[in-house]
Copies of this chain bind each other. A is one copy, B any other.
Amino acid sequence: MSFLDEVPWNEHGLIAAVTQDAATGRVLTVAWMNREALKETAERGEAVYWSRSRKRLWRKGEESGHVQKVIELRLDCDADALLLKVEQVGGIACHTGRESCFFRKLENGRWVTTDPVLKDPSQIYKNR
């Protein structure tokens, strides 16, 4: 039996995937994978997700160059979430040009942006 068969894919054929910087422990992104994305991630050693908005495989970094090299791939107890420990090429995971997508923090009842933009998105996505 393939490791892919142990994932009880949800009603949309997906599983949540949390991605963490292997060196710093910072949580970078939460995205989704389908069977093909997980298979390809394991084979290539680079994160491949399923883009729910674009309805296609999303090879992380395909436009930006901000590839996530997979150091470790983990599955949780009820097999409904994956954890990827990665080396984040370029140090930027978020489409806003920030290190992490979790750049807002709850402070006194408000979401406050705490992280700087490291690179202007217009410089990251030149072909858009």
Contacts and interface: CB of A to CB of B under 8 A. Distances in A.
Given A3-B109, A24-B25, A95 B74 contact: no
Copies of this chain in its oligomeric complex: 2
A46 to B, nearest CB: 14
Interface residues of A, number: 36
A16 to B, nearest CB: 6
A57 interface: no
Contacts of A3: 106, 109-111
Contacts of A101: 76-78, 81
Interface of A: 2-3, 6, 16, 18, 20, 24-27, 29-30, 42, 72-78, 80-81, 83, 94-96, 98, 101-106, 109-111
